[in-house]
Structure 1
Amino acid sequence: MIEQITDQLAILGHPQRISVFRMLMRRFPDTVPAGELATELGIKASTLSNYLNALQRSGLVTQERVGTSLLYSIEMKNVQHMLEFLLNDCCRGRPDICMPSTQGTRKMTDRKFNVLFLCVGNSARSIFAESLLRTLGGDRFSVYSAGTQPTSKLNPFAVQVLNDKGHDTSGLRSKHMSEFATDDAPEMDFVFTVCNQAANEECPAWEGQPISGHWGMVDPVKTTGTEAEQSLAFQNAYGALKRRIEAFTSLPVESLDRIALQTAVDDIGRTHVEDTK
Protein backbone atom coordinates (compact mmCIF):
# COMPACT_ATOMS: atom_id res chain seq x y z
CA MET A 1 0.00 0.00 0.00
CA ILE A 2 2.66 2.51 1.04
CA GLU A 3 4.84 1.52 -1.92
CA GLN A 4 1.97 2.19 -4.33
CA ILE A 5 1.20 5.56 -2.75
CA THR A 6 4.83 6.67 -2.80
CA ASP A 7 5.07 5.63 -6.46
CA GLN A 8 1.95 7.65 -7.28
CA LEU A 9 3.25 10.70 -5.45
CA ALA A 10 6.62 10.40 -7.20
CA ILE A 11 4.93 10.30 -10.60
CA LEU A 12 2.82 13.34 -9.74
CA GLY A 13 5.96 15.14 -8.62
CA HIS A 14 6.87 15.82 -12.26
CA PRO A 15 5.50 19.25 -13.37
CA GLN A 16 4.17 18.08 -16.73
CA ARG A 17 2.81 14.76 -15.51
CA ILE A 18 0.82 16.54 -12.85
CA SER A 19 -0.48 18.97 -15.49
CA VAL A 20 -1.87 15.97 -17.40
CA PHE A 21 -3.35 14.60 -14.17
CA ARG A 22 -4.93 17.98 -13.33
CA MET A 23 -6.46 18.27 -16.79
CA LEU A 24 -8.01 14.82 -16.52
CA MET A 25 -9.29 15.61 -13.03
CA ARG A 26 -10.99 18.74 -14.36
CA ARG A 27 -12.62 16.68 -17.10
CA PHE A 28 -13.74 13.84 -14.83
CA PRO A 29 -15.89 11.79 -15.35
CA ASP A 30 -15.40 12.05 -19.12
CA THR A 31 -12.72 10.38 -21.20
CA VAL A 32 -10.37 12.66 -23.13
CA PRO A 33 -8.59 11.86 -26.42
CA ALA A 34 -4.80 11.84 -26.25
CA GLY A 35 -4.66 14.32 -29.13
CA GLU A 36 -6.77 16.81 -27.23
CA LEU A 37 -4.55 16.53 -24.17
CA ALA A 38 -1.46 17.12 -26.29
CA THR A 39 -2.99 20.15 -27.98
CA GLU A 40 -4.34 21.81 -24.86
CA LEU A 41 -1.21 21.24 -22.79
CA GLY A 42 1.27 21.97 -25.59
CA ILE A 43 3.05 18.62 -25.14
CA LYS A 44 4.49 16.55 -28.00
CA ALA A 45 2.53 13.37 -28.70
CA SER A 46 5.48 11.08 -27.98
CA THR A 47 6.26 12.85 -24.71
CA LEU A 48 2.61 12.81 -23.66
CA SER A 49 2.47 9.08 -24.35
CA ASN A 50 5.29 8.53 -21.85
CA TYR A 51 3.50 10.63 -19.23
CA LEU A 52 0.22 8.79 -19.74
CA ASN A 53 1.95 5.41 -19.57
CA ALA A 54 3.49 6.37 -16.23
CA LEU A 55 0.14 7.57 -14.87
CA GLN A 56 -1.47 4.32 -16.06
CA ARG A 57 1.20 2.18 -14.41
CA SER A 58 0.59 4.02 -11.16
CA GLY A 59 -3.12 3.24 -11.37
CA LEU A 60 -4.19 6.89 -11.38
CA VAL A 61 -5.30 6.95 -15.03
CA THR A 62 -7.12 4.41 -17.19
CA GLN A 63 -7.15 3.98 -20.97
CA GLU A 64 -9.74 2.73 -23.42
CA ARG A 65 -9.70 2.41 -27.18
CA VAL A 66 -12.65 3.55 -29.28
CA GLY A 67 -12.00 2.83 -32.93
CA THR A 68 -8.56 4.25 -33.67
CA SER A 69 -8.64 6.71 -30.76
CA LEU A 70 -7.12 6.26 -27.32
CA LEU A 71 -9.21 7.86 -24.59
CA TYR A 72 -8.00 8.56 -21.06
CA SER A 73 -9.76 9.23 -17.78
CA ILE A 74 -9.07 9.34 -14.06
CA GLU A 75 -9.22 6.08 -12.10
CA MET A 76 -11.07 7.79 -9.27
CA LYS A 77 -11.08 4.90 -6.80
CA ASN A 78 -7.28 4.82 -6.79
CA VAL A 79 -7.08 8.61 -6.51
CA GLN A 80 -9.43 8.43 -3.53
CA HIS A 81 -7.27 5.75 -1.91
CA MET A 82 -4.19 7.94 -2.34
CA LEU A 83 -5.87 10.98 -0.83
CA GLU A 84 -7.45 8.92 1.92
CA PHE A 85 -4.01 7.63 2.88
CA LEU A 86 -2.64 11.18 3.03
CA LEU A 87 -5.51 12.44 5.17
CA ASN A 88 -5.91 9.45 7.46
CA ASP A 89 -2.29 8.42 7.86
CA CYS A 90 -0.18 11.52 7.25
CA CYS A 91 -2.74 13.94 8.73
CA ARG A 92 -3.74 11.45 11.46
CA GLY A 93 -7.36 11.46 10.36
CA ARG A 94 -7.68 15.21 10.89
CA PRO A 95 -8.11 17.04 7.58
CA ASP A 96 -8.28 20.32 9.50
CA ILE A 97 -4.54 19.97 10.20
CA CYS A 98 -3.61 19.74 6.52
CA MET A 99 -6.48 21.84 5.19
CA PRO A 100 -7.06 24.70 7.64
CA SER A 101 -9.80 26.17 5.47
CA THR A 102 -11.73 22.84 5.66
CA GLN A 103 -13.03 23.43 2.13
CA GLY A 104 -13.85 19.75 1.79
CA THR A 105 -16.41 19.74 4.61
CA ARG A 106 -17.75 23.29 4.73
CA LYS A 107 -21.34 23.69 3.59
CA MET A 108 -22.32 26.26 1.01
CA THR A 109 -23.78 29.34 2.66
CA ASP A 110 -27.33 30.50 2.24
CA ARG A 111 -26.78 33.10 -0.45
CA LYS A 112 -27.02 33.63 -4.17
CA PHE A 113 -24.59 31.41 -6.07
CA ASN A 114 -22.60 32.44 -9.15
CA VAL A 115 -22.72 29.92 -12.01
CA LEU A 116 -20.77 30.07 -15.29
CA PHE A 117 -21.44 27.89 -18.34
CA LEU A 118 -18.62 27.52 -20.85
CA CYS A 119 -18.38 26.16 -24.38
CA VAL A 120 -16.51 27.11 -27.54
CA GLY A 121 -18.70 29.52 -29.50
CA ASN A 122 -21.07 30.73 -26.75
CA SER A 123 -23.80 30.94 -29.35
CA ALA A 124 -26.09 28.02 -28.47
CA ARG A 125 -25.35 25.37 -25.80
CA SER A 126 -24.00 27.63 -23.05
CA ILE A 127 -26.64 30.22 -23.95
CA PHE A 128 -29.33 27.55 -23.53
CA ALA A 129 -27.88 26.56 -20.15
CA GLU A 130 -27.67 30.19 -19.00
CA SER A 131 -31.27 30.87 -19.96
CA LEU A 132 -32.58 27.64 -18.46
CA LEU A 133 -30.90 28.09 -15.09
CA ARG A 134 -31.98 31.73 -14.93
CA THR A 135 -35.58 30.57 -15.44
CA LEU A 136 -35.57 27.36 -13.39
CA GLY A 137 -33.26 28.53 -10.61
CA GLY A 138 -35.23 31.60 -9.65
CA ASP A 139 -33.40 33.93 -7.27
CA ARG A 140 -30.95 31.26 -6.07
CA PHE A 141 -28.36 31.82 -8.81
CA SER A 142 -26.60 34.57 -10.73
CA VAL A 143 -25.98 32.97 -14.11
CA TYR A 144 -23.41 33.70 -16.82
CA SER A 145 -22.05 32.07 -19.99
CA ALA A 146 -18.97 32.50 -22.16
CA GLY A 147 -16.82 30.78 -24.79
CA THR A 148 -13.24 30.17 -25.79
CA GLN A 149 -13.90 31.32 -29.34
CA PRO A 150 -17.13 33.32 -29.14
CA THR A 151 -19.00 34.19 -32.29
CA SER A 152 -20.08 37.68 -33.24
CA LYS A 153 -23.74 36.90 -32.65
CA LEU A 154 -26.01 34.22 -31.25
CA ASN A 155 -27.10 31.40 -33.52
CA PRO A 156 -30.54 32.25 -34.97
CA PHE A 157 -31.84 28.70 -34.41
CA ALA A 158 -30.88 28.95 -30.74
CA VAL A 159 -32.57 32.32 -30.38
CA GLN A 160 -35.71 30.94 -32.02
CA VAL A 161 -35.85 27.98 -29.63
CA LEU A 162 -35.45 30.27 -26.61
CA ASN A 163 -38.13 32.62 -27.87
CA ASP A 164 -40.48 29.71 -28.53
CA LYS A 165 -39.91 28.46 -24.97
CA GLY A 166 -40.72 31.86 -23.50
CA HIS A 167 -37.20 32.96 -22.47
CA ASP A 168 -36.17 36.61 -22.51
CA THR A 169 -33.31 36.85 -25.04
CA SER A 170 -32.90 40.63 -25.01
CA GLY A 171 -29.85 40.63 -22.73
CA LEU A 172 -28.05 37.62 -24.17
CA ARG A 173 -24.78 38.01 -26.11
CA SER A 174 -21.77 35.95 -27.11
CA LYS A 175 -18.66 36.80 -25.06
CA HIS A 176 -15.16 35.56 -24.28
CA MET A 177 -14.42 33.73 -21.04
CA SER A 178 -11.68 36.28 -20.25
CA GLU A 179 -14.46 38.66 -19.15
CA PHE A 180 -14.87 36.46 -16.08
CA ALA A 181 -11.17 36.17 -15.28
CA THR A 182 -10.57 39.81 -14.31
CA ASP A 183 -10.01 41.02 -10.75
CA ASP A 184 -13.43 42.65 -10.59
CA ALA A 185 -15.32 39.70 -12.10
CA PRO A 186 -17.73 37.78 -9.85
CA GLU A 187 -16.19 34.81 -8.06
CA MET A 188 -17.73 31.65 -9.43
CA ASP A 189 -19.22 28.99 -7.17
CA PHE A 190 -19.97 26.60 -10.04
CA VAL A 191 -18.40 26.30 -13.51
CA PHE A 192 -19.86 23.90 -16.07
CA THR A 193 -18.47 23.05 -19.50
CA VAL A 194 -21.04 21.93 -22.06
CA CYS A 195 -18.85 21.31 -25.11
CA ASN A 196 -18.49 17.87 -26.65
CA GLN A 197 -15.16 16.13 -26.13
CA ALA A 198 -16.12 13.41 -28.57
CA ALA A 199 -15.75 16.03 -31.29
CA ASN A 200 -12.35 17.00 -29.85
CA GLU A 201 -13.52 20.49 -28.99
CA GLU A 202 -11.18 22.51 -26.83
CA CYS A 203 -13.27 22.51 -23.71
CA PRO A 204 -11.93 25.17 -21.35
CA ALA A 205 -10.67 24.36 -17.87
CA TRP A 206 -11.32 26.89 -15.13
CA GLU A 207 -8.69 27.81 -12.59
CA GLY A 208 -9.49 28.37 -8.93
CA GLN A 209 -11.77 26.50 -6.55
CA PRO A 210 -15.32 26.47 -7.93
CA ILE A 211 -17.28 23.25 -8.02
CA SER A 212 -16.91 22.20 -11.65
CA GLY A 213 -18.66 19.77 -13.94
CA HIS A 214 -18.53 18.65 -17.54
CA TRP A 215 -21.92 18.18 -19.14
CA GLY A 216 -20.80 17.45 -22.70
CA MET A 217 -23.25 18.14 -25.50
CA VAL A 218 -22.97 17.68 -29.27
CA ASP A 219 -22.79 21.11 -30.89
CA PRO A 220 -26.10 21.68 -32.75
CA VAL A 221 -24.43 24.47 -34.72
CA LYS A 222 -22.45 21.82 -36.62
CA THR A 223 -25.60 19.99 -37.73
CA THR A 224 -26.07 19.85 -41.50
CA GLY A 225 -29.12 18.97 -43.55
CA THR A 226 -32.47 20.60 -44.03
CA GLU A 227 -33.69 23.52 -41.97
CA ALA A 228 -36.03 21.15 -40.14
CA GLU A 229 -33.16 18.80 -39.27
CA GLN A 230 -31.05 21.68 -38.00
CA SER A 231 -33.93 23.02 -35.94
CA LEU A 232 -34.48 19.57 -34.41
CA ALA A 233 -30.83 19.41 -33.33
CA PHE A 234 -31.25 22.66 -31.39
CA GLN A 235 -34.50 21.45 -29.86
CA ASN A 236 -32.77 18.26 -28.70
CA ALA A 237 -29.83 20.14 -27.22
CA TYR A 238 -32.20 22.44 -25.34
CA GLY A 239 -34.20 19.50 -24.02
CA ALA A 240 -31.16 17.54 -22.88
CA LEU A 241 -29.72 20.56 -21.08
CA LYS A 242 -33.09 21.24 -19.49
CA ARG A 243 -33.04 17.83 -17.84
CA ARG A 244 -29.59 18.44 -16.41
CA ILE A 245 -30.48 21.92 -15.20
CA GLU A 246 -33.62 20.53 -13.55
CA ALA A 247 -31.49 17.93 -11.77
CA PHE A 248 -29.07 20.64 -10.65
CA THR A 249 -31.76 22.98 -9.34
CA SER A 250 -33.30 20.11 -7.35
CA LEU A 251 -30.09 19.78 -5.30
CA PRO A 252 -30.21 21.22 -1.77
CA VAL A 253 -27.15 23.36 -2.55
CA GLU A 254 -27.40 25.31 0.69
CA SER A 255 -27.24 22.22 2.90
CA LEU A 256 -24.64 20.08 1.10
CA ASP A 257 -20.89 20.28 1.67
CA ARG A 258 -18.45 20.69 -1.23
CA ILE A 259 -17.66 16.99 -1.49
CA ALA A 260 -21.33 16.01 -1.69
CA LEU A 261 -22.05 18.77 -4.20
CA GLN A 262 -19.13 17.80 -6.41
CA THR A 263 -20.28 14.18 -6.37
CA ALA A 264 -23.83 15.21 -7.30
CA VAL A 265 -22.59 17.44 -10.12
CA ASP A 266 -20.43 14.60 -11.47
CA ASP A 267 -23.39 12.23 -11.31
CA ILE A 268 -25.50 14.64 -13.37
CA GLY A 269 -22.77 14.81 -16.00
CA ARG A 270 -22.38 11.03 -16.02
CA THR A 271 -26.07 10.30 -16.47
CA HIS A 272 -27.15 9.62 -20.04
CA VAL A 273 -29.65 12.21 -21.19
CA GLU A 274 -31.99 11.20 -23.96
CA ASP A 275 -32.93 13.65 -26.66
CA THR A 276 -35.98 15.68 -25.82
CA LYS A 277 -38.00 17.41 -28.50
Structure 2
Amino acid sequence: MDSTAAIKILSTLGHEGRLSVFRLLARRAPQEVRPGEITEATGLKPSTLSAHLTALSEAGLVQSRRNGTSIYYALAADRTQAFTSFLLEDCCRGRPDLCAPNPETKPVTGQKSVLFLCTGNSARSILAEALLRQAGAGRFVTYSAGTRPSGDVNPHVLDLLRRNDHDISGLRSKDLNEMQGEDAPTFDFVFTVCDHAANEDCPAWPGQPISAHWGLPDPAAAKGTEAEIALAFAEAYRTLNTRIEAFAALPIETLDRLSLQSEADQIGMLPSKS
Protein backbone atom coordinates (compact mmCIF):
# COMPACT_ATOMS: atom_id res chain seq x y z
CA MET A 1 0.00 0.00 0.00
CA ASP A 2 1.28 3.49 -0.81
CA SER A 3 0.95 6.72 1.17
CA THR A 4 -1.92 8.06 -0.96
CA ALA A 5 -4.12 5.02 -0.24
CA ALA A 6 -3.23 5.09 3.46
CA ILE A 7 -4.07 8.79 3.75
CA LYS A 8 -7.48 8.17 2.16
CA ILE A 9 -8.19 5.40 4.67
CA LEU A 10 -7.07 7.55 7.62
CA SER A 11 -9.28 10.39 6.39
CA THR A 12 -12.23 8.03 6.03
CA LEU A 13 -11.81 6.60 9.52
CA GLY A 14 -11.32 10.06 11.01
CA HIS A 15 -15.06 10.37 11.52
CA GLU A 16 -16.86 8.99 14.56
CA GLY A 17 -19.76 7.48 12.63
CA ARG A 18 -17.64 5.81 9.96
CA LEU A 19 -15.25 4.52 12.60
CA SER A 20 -18.12 2.98 14.59
CA VAL A 21 -19.40 1.17 11.49
CA PHE A 22 -15.91 -0.05 10.64
CA ARG A 23 -15.36 -1.34 14.19
CA LEU A 24 -18.69 -3.16 14.18
CA LEU A 25 -17.85 -4.91 10.90
CA ALA A 26 -14.40 -5.73 12.27
CA ARG A 27 -15.96 -7.35 15.33
CA ARG A 28 -18.26 -9.43 13.13
CA ALA A 29 -15.58 -10.39 10.57
CA PRO A 30 -15.53 -12.56 8.56
CA GLN A 31 -19.34 -12.67 8.66
CA GLU A 32 -21.63 -10.38 6.69
CA VAL A 33 -24.03 -7.93 8.34
CA ARG A 34 -27.30 -6.46 7.07
CA PRO A 35 -27.69 -2.65 7.02
CA GLY A 36 -30.71 -2.84 9.33
CA GLU A 37 -28.64 -4.62 11.93
CA ILE A 38 -25.89 -1.98 11.69
CA THR A 39 -28.50 0.77 12.08
CA GLU A 40 -29.94 -0.88 15.17
CA ALA A 41 -26.52 -1.38 16.75
CA THR A 42 -25.11 2.09 16.02
CA GLY A 43 -28.24 4.24 16.21
CA LEU A 44 -27.43 5.81 12.83
CA LYS A 45 -30.17 6.90 10.45
CA PRO A 46 -30.42 4.69 7.33
CA SER A 47 -29.44 7.59 5.05
CA THR A 48 -26.43 8.40 7.23
CA LEU A 49 -25.38 4.77 7.36
CA SER A 50 -25.62 4.54 3.58
CA ALA A 51 -23.25 7.49 3.22
CA HIS A 52 -20.79 5.96 5.70
CA LEU A 53 -20.84 2.59 3.95
CA THR A 54 -20.25 4.28 0.60
CA ALA A 55 -17.22 6.14 1.99
CA LEU A 56 -15.83 2.98 3.60
CA SER A 57 -16.36 1.05 0.37
CA GLU A 58 -14.60 3.73 -1.68
CA ALA A 59 -11.65 3.49 0.73
CA GLY A 60 -11.61 -0.25 0.14
CA LEU A 61 -12.35 -1.15 3.76
CA VAL A 62 -15.80 -2.63 3.22
CA GLN A 63 -17.17 -5.01 0.61
CA SER A 64 -20.80 -5.73 -0.21
CA ARG A 65 -22.78 -8.58 -1.69
CA ARG A 66 -26.29 -8.46 -3.12
CA ASN A 67 -28.65 -11.38 -2.61
CA GLY A 68 -31.94 -10.66 -4.36
CA THR A 69 -33.19 -7.38 -2.90
CA SER A 70 -30.89 -7.57 0.13
CA ILE A 71 -27.37 -6.22 0.48
CA TYR A 72 -24.86 -7.60 2.97
CA TYR A 73 -21.70 -5.81 4.12
CA ALA A 74 -18.45 -7.23 5.49
CA LEU A 75 -14.98 -6.08 6.39
CA ALA A 76 -12.51 -6.15 3.48
CA ALA A 77 -9.97 -8.14 5.44
CA ASP A 78 -7.12 -8.09 2.93
CA ARG A 79 -7.29 -4.32 2.51
CA THR A 80 -7.50 -3.76 6.27
CA GLN A 81 -4.52 -6.01 6.85
CA ALA A 82 -2.52 -4.20 4.17
CA PHE A 83 -3.34 -0.88 5.83
CA THR A 84 -2.28 -1.97 9.32
CA SER A 85 0.87 -3.55 7.89
CA PHE A 86 1.70 -0.25 6.14
CA LEU A 87 1.32 1.64 9.43
CA LEU A 88 3.66 -0.71 11.27
CA GLU A 89 6.19 -1.72 8.64
CA ASP A 90 8.76 0.84 9.86
CA CYS A 91 7.69 0.65 13.49
CA CYS A 92 10.55 0.22 15.95
CA ARG A 93 13.04 -0.51 13.18
CA GLY A 94 10.81 -3.09 11.57
CA ARG A 95 9.77 -4.69 14.87
CA PRO A 96 5.98 -4.27 15.08
CA ASP A 97 5.92 -6.71 18.00
CA LEU A 98 7.58 -3.99 20.09
CA CYS A 99 4.89 -1.38 19.53
CA ALA A 100 1.68 -3.33 18.94
CA PRO A 101 0.03 -6.33 20.57
CA ASN A 102 1.18 -9.50 18.88
CA PRO A 103 -0.55 -12.63 20.22
CA GLU A 104 1.67 -15.63 20.75
CA THR A 105 1.31 -18.35 18.16
CA LYS A 106 2.07 -21.24 20.47
CA PRO A 107 -0.71 -23.84 20.94
CA VAL A 108 -3.24 -23.54 23.74
CA THR A 109 -2.52 -26.32 26.23
CA GLY A 110 -4.11 -27.69 29.41
CA GLN A 111 -7.72 -27.25 30.49
CA LYS A 112 -9.41 -24.48 28.49
CA SER A 113 -11.73 -21.77 29.80
CA VAL A 114 -14.61 -20.89 27.48
CA LEU A 115 -17.12 -18.04 27.81
CA PHE A 116 -20.39 -17.87 25.87
CA LEU A 117 -21.93 -14.39 25.63
CA CYS A 118 -25.37 -13.17 24.64
CA THR A 119 -27.60 -10.34 25.71
CA GLY A 120 -30.00 -11.89 28.22
CA ASN A 121 -28.03 -15.02 29.23
CA SER A 122 -31.29 -16.89 29.55
CA ALA A 123 -31.38 -19.25 26.54
CA ARG A 124 -28.68 -19.58 23.86
CA SER A 125 -25.60 -18.96 25.99
CA ILE A 126 -26.99 -21.19 28.75
CA LEU A 127 -27.57 -23.98 26.23
CA ALA A 128 -24.02 -23.59 24.94
CA GLU A 129 -22.59 -23.66 28.46
CA ALA A 130 -24.42 -26.90 29.29
CA LEU A 131 -23.62 -28.53 25.95
CA LEU A 132 -19.87 -27.90 26.19
CA ARG A 133 -19.83 -28.92 29.84
CA GLN A 134 -21.08 -32.34 28.71
CA ALA A 135 -19.25 -32.66 25.37
CA GLY A 136 -15.95 -31.40 26.76
CA ALA A 137 -15.66 -34.24 29.27
CA GLY A 138 -13.54 -32.21 31.70
CA ARG A 139 -11.32 -30.63 29.02
CA PHE A 140 -13.09 -27.28 29.38
CA VAL A 141 -14.19 -24.97 32.18
CA THR A 142 -17.34 -23.42 30.75
CA TYR A 143 -19.05 -20.13 31.58
CA SER A 144 -21.83 -17.95 30.18
CA ALA A 145 -22.92 -14.36 30.78
CA GLY A 146 -25.10 -11.60 29.38
CA THR A 147 -24.48 -7.97 28.54
CA ARG A 148 -27.97 -7.20 29.87
CA PRO A 149 -28.92 -10.39 31.75
CA SER A 150 -32.57 -11.23 32.29
CA GLY A 151 -31.86 -12.64 35.74
CA ASP A 152 -33.59 -15.94 35.05
CA VAL A 153 -32.90 -18.99 32.89
CA ASN A 154 -35.72 -19.58 30.42
CA PRO A 155 -37.87 -22.50 31.68
CA HIS A 156 -37.99 -24.00 28.17
CA VAL A 157 -34.19 -24.23 28.29
CA LEU A 158 -34.20 -26.03 31.64
CA ASP A 159 -36.85 -28.48 30.45
CA LEU A 160 -34.95 -29.14 27.22
CA LEU A 161 -31.68 -29.75 29.06
CA ARG A 162 -33.31 -32.09 31.58
CA ARG A 163 -34.92 -34.13 28.80
CA ASN A 164 -31.52 -34.49 27.14
CA ASP A 165 -29.85 -35.64 30.38
CA HIS A 166 -27.75 -32.53 30.98
CA ASP A 167 -26.56 -31.44 34.40
CA ILE A 168 -28.34 -28.15 35.09
CA SER A 169 -26.84 -27.51 38.52
CA GLY A 170 -25.24 -24.11 38.77
CA LEU A 171 -26.86 -22.73 35.63
CA ARG A 172 -28.03 -19.15 36.19
CA SER A 173 -28.34 -15.86 34.35
CA LYS A 174 -25.20 -13.83 35.06
CA ASP A 175 -23.99 -10.31 34.32
CA LEU A 176 -20.91 -9.84 32.16
CA ASN A 177 -19.37 -7.88 35.04
CA GLU A 178 -18.94 -11.16 36.92
CA MET A 179 -16.50 -12.24 34.22
CA GLN A 180 -14.31 -9.17 34.66
CA GLY A 181 -12.07 -7.87 37.42
CA GLU A 182 -9.16 -9.29 39.38
CA ASP A 183 -10.98 -12.43 40.55
CA ALA A 184 -12.51 -13.28 37.17
CA PRO A 185 -11.34 -16.25 35.11
CA THR A 186 -8.85 -15.79 32.27
CA PHE A 187 -10.50 -17.12 29.13
CA ASP A 188 -8.95 -19.04 26.26
CA PHE A 189 -12.07 -18.68 24.09
CA VAL A 190 -14.93 -16.17 24.01
CA PHE A 191 -17.91 -16.88 21.73
CA THR A 192 -20.91 -14.62 21.15
CA VAL A 193 -24.12 -16.47 20.30
CA CYS A 194 -26.42 -13.52 19.57
CA ASP A 195 -25.96 -10.66 17.15
CA HIS A 196 -26.74 -7.96 19.72
CA ALA A 197 -23.88 -9.04 21.98
CA ALA A 198 -21.51 -9.40 19.03
CA ASN A 199 -22.31 -5.87 17.85
CA GLU A 200 -21.56 -4.27 21.20
CA ASP A 201 -18.20 -2.88 22.26
CA CYS A 202 -16.86 -5.56 24.57
CA PRO A 203 -13.95 -5.28 26.99
CA ALA A 204 -10.43 -6.22 26.03
CA TRP A 205 -10.09 -9.63 27.62
CA PRO A 206 -6.83 -10.40 29.44
CA GLY A 207 -4.67 -12.90 27.60
CA GLN A 208 -6.24 -12.09 24.21
CA PRO A 209 -8.55 -15.11 23.97
CA ILE A 210 -9.61 -16.51 20.62
CA SER A 211 -13.06 -15.13 19.84
CA ALA A 212 -15.74 -15.84 17.25
CA HIS A 213 -19.39 -15.15 16.56
CA TRP A 214 -21.70 -18.17 16.61
CA GLY A 215 -24.95 -16.28 16.15
CA LEU A 216 -28.33 -17.95 15.83
CA PRO A 217 -31.99 -16.85 16.21
CA ASP A 218 -33.28 -16.28 19.73
CA PRO A 219 -35.74 -19.06 20.56
CA ALA A 220 -37.12 -16.95 23.41
CA ALA A 221 -38.47 -14.55 20.76
CA ALA A 222 -40.46 -17.30 19.03
CA LYS A 223 -44.22 -16.77 18.71
CA GLY A 224 -47.06 -19.17 18.05
CA THR A 225 -48.34 -22.35 19.60
CA GLU A 226 -46.54 -24.26 22.35
CA ALA A 227 -45.39 -26.75 19.73
CA GLU A 228 -43.97 -23.98 17.53
CA ILE A 229 -42.15 -22.40 20.46
CA ALA A 230 -40.78 -25.77 21.54
CA LEU A 231 -39.56 -26.33 17.98
CA ALA A 232 -37.61 -23.03 18.07
CA PHE A 233 -35.82 -24.09 21.26
CA ALA A 234 -35.12 -27.56 19.84
CA GLU A 235 -33.61 -26.00 16.69
CA ALA A 236 -31.38 -23.72 18.79
CA TYR A 237 -30.26 -26.76 20.78
CA ARG A 238 -29.46 -28.74 17.61
CA THR A 239 -27.54 -25.88 16.01
CA LEU A 240 -25.45 -25.25 19.11
CA ASN A 241 -24.90 -28.96 19.61
CA THR A 242 -23.51 -29.26 16.07
CA ARG A 243 -21.09 -26.41 16.72
CA ILE A 244 -20.12 -27.56 20.20
CA GLU A 245 -19.39 -31.08 18.97
CA ALA A 246 -17.19 -29.68 16.19
CA PHE A 247 -15.36 -27.42 18.64
CA ALA A 248 -14.83 -30.18 21.21
CA ALA A 249 -13.42 -32.44 18.47
CA LEU A 250 -10.71 -29.95 17.47
CA PRO A 251 -7.12 -31.04 18.20
CA ILE A 252 -6.63 -27.81 20.12
CA GLU A 253 -3.24 -28.72 21.56
CA THR A 254 -1.74 -29.19 18.08
CA LEU A 255 -3.14 -26.04 16.43
CA ASP A 256 -1.59 -22.58 16.53
CA ARG A 257 -3.66 -19.47 17.19
CA LEU A 258 -4.24 -18.63 13.56
CA SER A 259 -5.50 -22.13 12.81
CA LEU A 260 -7.72 -22.14 15.90
CA GLN A 261 -9.18 -18.76 14.96
CA SER A 262 -9.97 -19.99 11.45
CA GLU A 263 -11.61 -23.14 12.80
CA ALA A 264 -13.66 -21.15 15.33
CA ASP A 265 -14.91 -18.81 12.59
CA GLN A 266 -15.91 -21.74 10.36
CA ILE A 267 -17.71 -23.51 13.21
CA GLY A 268 -19.86 -20.41 13.71
CA MET A 269 -21.32 -20.95 10.24
CA LEU A 270 -22.29 -24.60 10.71
CA PRO A 271 -26.04 -25.33 10.44
CA SER A 272 -27.75 -27.82 12.69
CA LYS A 273 -27.66 -31.49 11.85
CA SER A 274 -30.97 -32.79 10.55
TM range (shorter): 0.7 to 0.9
The within-5 A match list for 1:144-223 is 144-195=143-194, 197=195, 201=196, 203=198, 204-208=200-204, 209-223=208-222
1:32 aligned counterpart, secondary structure: coil
Query: 1:38 touches 1:45 (CA, 8 Å); kept in 2?
Result: yes
CA shift for structure 1 position 179:
1.9
Determine helix, strand or coil for the equivalent of 2:121.
coil
Residue equivalent to 1:255: 254
Task: Between 70-79 and 4-13, report the one with greater CA deviation.
Answer: 4-13
2-side partners of 1:202 and 1:211: how far apart?
Answer: 16
Cα displacement (A) at 1:254: 2.7
- Partners of 2:160 and 2:263 lie apart in 1 by 28
Give 1:159 shift. 1.0
The answer as to whether partners of 2:162 and 2:168 remain within 8 angstroms in 1 is yes
CA distance in structure 1 between the aligned counterparts of 2:203 and 2:147, rounded to whole angstroms: 14
Change (3 A) 1:94 1:261: farther
1:120 equivalenced with 2:116 (yes/no): no
- 8 Å CA contact 1:40–1:202 kept in 2: the answer is no
2:272 corresponding residue in structure 1: 274
8 Å Cα contact 1:62/1:74 also seen in 2: yes
Residue in structure 2 matched with residue 25 of structure 1 by the alignment: 26
Equivalent residue, structure 2, for 1:229: 228
State the Cα distance separating 1:237 from its structure 2 match: 1.1
Q: Scaled by the length of structure 1, what TM-score is found?
A: 0.83
Q: Secondary structure at the match of 1:128?
A: helix
Q: TM-score, normalised by structure 2?
A: 0.84
More displaced stretch, 228-237 vs 210-219: 228-237
Secondary structure of 2:250's aligned partner: coil
Distance 1:91 1:46 in 2: 42
- More displaced stretch, 161-170 vs 204-213: 204-213
Amino acid at match of 2:215: G
Q: Distance in 1 between matches of 2:112 and 2:11?
A: 38
Alpha-carbon spacing, 1:64–1:236, altered in 2? closer, same or farther (3 Å): same
The number of aligned residues is 269
> Any conservation in 2 of the 1:29–1:266 contact (CA below 8 Å)?
yes
- Cα shift at 1:173: 0.8
Rounded to whole Å, the distance in 2 between the matches of 1:187 and 1:39 is: 31
| Cα deviation code 1:231-259 (max 9, x no counterpart) | 22212211111111111122232333322
| Structure with larger RCO (C-alpha < 8 A, sep 6+) | 1
Distance 1:163 1:149 in 2: 26
| Paired amino acid for 2:256 | D
| Cα distance in structure 1, aligned partners of 2:201 and 2:264 | 16
Question: Structure 1's 233 and 44: CA in aligned 2 closer, same or farther, altered over 3 A?
Answer: closer
Alignment partner of 2:244: what SS? Answer: helix
Any idea what SS the aligned residue of 2:271 has? Answer: coil
Instruction: Write the distance in 2 (CA, Å) between the matches of 1:11 and 1:91.
Output: 26
CA spacing shift, 1:233–1:78, aligned 2, 3 Å:
same
5+ residue gaps in structure 1?
A: none
- Percent identity of the aligned residues? 49
Change (3 A) 1:227 1:188: same
2:73 corresponds in structure 1 to 72
